[in-house]
């Protein structure tokens, strides 16, 4: 097949920074059997093309991005027609994919991978914050031939909106993340890790307040926070205010190569997000033998209570209680780790590629435009 993948970015030509690891793993696997063209809306400011992971990357660049992306897909389609157009993320990517599919009479798939279906207005996050966003998503999802999402909570939301969808998690590349059996804790402080950009939706203030509560209770730990700071030092200042400077260490961005030893050395991943479609880091931690405590979103919600412990988003007291519970019950920590690892290994990157390939084959060739809009 000749495939067009539409993505927001995450396909930097260097393959290490400004990438979405799960996306690269998917591209590499699809490119082994198919001709793959990836249309990145804003990887770089200027239009450009480069090879990556066996595929051809078409960077659209800034300025009139949606229209130029549709034209770029149409231009490549003239050289040889696409068999399927697949948006990883809805929003602008879904709009481009569906519009191009309707124009070219090509089947389209849309994968919900972020906040497309939520409206967290207090932090200005989500694709459904106003009527325009809700209308655009409704049109995209109803015009797509197949809709998928990474986790059960997102599938439930889609069903509530009247959209038939299939769960396809974006899995871990087990060659890059060799599975390691869960290990018993040794002496010394518990080694905690948090991997996420510092931003409003990841809600690090809830995380830090939970850590402050643990410190007051006499729990001995060291927390390493890995992620790009988008808040200008706000979270670091809060850590200082809460008296956490000796326990919480901000490591900034780390490549996958740099993250792996940190994850393998950790004993518990802690997530505090207000929304997640995944996250992938939960799966990476699971493969590394590390269990997770966090808020009841995405994979965490569907894995609880056997493979993760969860609490309501924003509830730092409950988060502190859950962390303490796991750190003071080693049998529970190991049980969670083993259960999580089994789940993550069943749905690895190979599973993801096979699931999407099966969907490519299952969708029918697109009928003419008026017929599609009457569905």
Q: What pLDDT, in 10s, does the model give residues 277-323?
A: 999 999 999 999 999 999 999 999 999 999 999 999 999 999 999 99
More confident site: 373 or 175: 175
Q: What was the pLDDT predicted at 15?
A: 87
pLDDT above 70: residue 145: yes
**Coil vs helix vs strand at 11:** strand
Q: What was the pLDDT predicted at 301?
A: 97
CA angle 221, 225, 226 (to 5 degrees): 145
What's the domain count of the chain? 2
Q: Could you tell me how many helices (H) and strands (E) the chain has, helices first?
A: 14, 14
Residues 357 and 214 in one domain: no
pLDDT band (50, 70, 90) for residue 372: very low
- The answer to whether position 176 is within a domain reads no
Residues 342 and 355 in one domain: no
Cα 222 from Cα 115, distance rounded (Å) = 31
Residues 165 and 194 in one domain: no
State the residue range of the domain holding 288.
Answer: 190-346
Q: What was the pLDDT predicted at 375?
A: 40
pLDDT band (50, 70, 90) for residue 63: confident
pLDDT above 90: residue 370: no
Q: What was the pLDDT predicted at 367?
A: 54
- The answer to whether position 183 is within a domain reads no
Cα 61 from Cα 41, distance rounded (Å) = 6
Residues 64 and 144 in one domain: yes
Asked if residues 307 and 333 have their Cβ atoms less than 8 Å apart, the reply is: no
Residues 325 and 355 in one domain: no
Residues 334 and 357 in one domain: no
Strand 48-52 with 55-59, pairing: antiparallel
- The answer to whether position 184 is within a domain reads no
Residues 303 and 361 in one domain: no
For residue 89, give the DSSP letter: S
At 314-331, the pLDDT tens digits run: 999 999 999 999 999 999
Q: What was the pLDDT predicted at 81?
A: 97
At 102-115, the pLDDT tens digits run: 999 999 999 999 99
- The answer to whether position 333 is within a domain reads yes
Percentage of residues in the chain having pLDDT higher than 70: 97
- The answer to whether position 264 is within a domain reads yes
Contacts of 156 (CB under 8 A, 6+ apart): none
At 149-172, the pLDDT tens digits run: 999 999 999 999 999 999 999 999
At 6-35, the pLDDT tens digits run: 999 999 998 888 899 999 999 999 999 999
pLDDT band (50, 70, 90) for residue 211: very high
Residues 337 and 366 in one domain: no
Instruction: With CA atoms as reference, report the closest residue to 113 among 155, 85, 84.
Output: 155
Residues 210 and 259 in one domain: yes
Instruction: With CA atoms as reference, report the closest residue to 52 among 88, 93, 14, 89.
Output: 14
Contacts of 371 (CB under 8 A, 6+ apart): none
What is the DSSP track for 122-169? GGTBSTTSSHHHHHHHHHHHHHSSEEEESSHHHHHHHHHTT---EE--
Residues 233 and 327 in one domain: yes
CATH code, domain carrying 151: 3.40.50.2000
Q: What was the pLDDT predicted at 229?
A: 97
Residues 259 and 326 in one domain: yes
- The answer to whether position 177 is within a domain reads no
- The answer to whether position 179 is within a domain reads no
**Coil vs helix vs strand at 61:** coil
Cα 255 from Cα 100, distance rounded (Å) = 34
Cα 290 from Cα 51, distance rounded (Å) = 34
Residues 304 and 358 in one domain: no
- The answer to whether position 194 is within a domain reads yes
Helix or strand run (H / E) with residue 50: strand 48-52
Mean pLDDT of the chain: 94
């Amino acid at each position: 097949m000749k495939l067009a993948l539409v993505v927001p970015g995450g396909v930097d030509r260097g393959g290490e920074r400004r990438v979405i690891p799960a996306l690269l793993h998917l591209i590499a696997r699809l490119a082994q059997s198919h001709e793959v063209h990836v249309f990145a809306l804003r990887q770089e400011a200027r239009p450009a093309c480069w090879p990556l992971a066996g595929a051809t990357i078409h960077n659209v660049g800034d300025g009139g991005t949606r229209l130029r992306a549709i034209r770029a897909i149409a231009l490549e389609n003239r050289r040889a027609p696409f068999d399927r157009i697949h948006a990883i993320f809805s929003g602008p990517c879904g709009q481009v994919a569906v519009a191009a599919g309707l124009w070219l009479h090509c089947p389209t798939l849309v994968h919900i991978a972020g906040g497309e279906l939520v409206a967290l207005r207090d932090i200005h996050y989500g694709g459904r914050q106003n009527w325009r966003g809700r209308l655009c998503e409704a049109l995209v999802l109803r015009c797509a031939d197949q809709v998928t999402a990474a986790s059960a909570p997102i599938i439930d939301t889609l069903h509530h909106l009247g959209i038939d969808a299939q769960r396809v998690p974006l899995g871990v590349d087990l060659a890059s993340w060799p599975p390691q059996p869960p290990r018993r804790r040794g002496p010394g402080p518990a080694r905690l890790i948090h991997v996420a950009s510092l931003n409003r939706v990841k809600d690090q203030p809830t995380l830090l307040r939970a850590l402050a509560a643990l410190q007051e209770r006499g729990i001995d730990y060291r927390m390493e926070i890995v992620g790009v700071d988008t808040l200008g030092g706000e979270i670091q200042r809060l850590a200082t205010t809460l008296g956490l400077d000796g326990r919480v260490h901000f490591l900034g961005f780390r490549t996958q190569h740099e993250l792996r030893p940190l994850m393998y050395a950790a004993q518990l991943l802690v997530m505090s997000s207000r929304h997640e479609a995944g996250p992938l880091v939960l799966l990476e931690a699971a493969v590394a033998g590390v269990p997770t405590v966090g808020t009841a979103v995405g994979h965490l919600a569907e894995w609880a209570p056997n493979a993760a412990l969860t609490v309501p988003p924003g509830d730092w007291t409950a988060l502190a209680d859950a962390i303490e519970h796991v750190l003071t019950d080693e049998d529970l920590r190991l049980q969670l780790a083993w259960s999580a690892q089994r789940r993550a290994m069943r749905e690895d990157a190979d599973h993801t590629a096979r699931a999407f390939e099966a969907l490519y084959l299952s969708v029918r060739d697109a009928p003419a435009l008026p017929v599609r809009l009457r569905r």
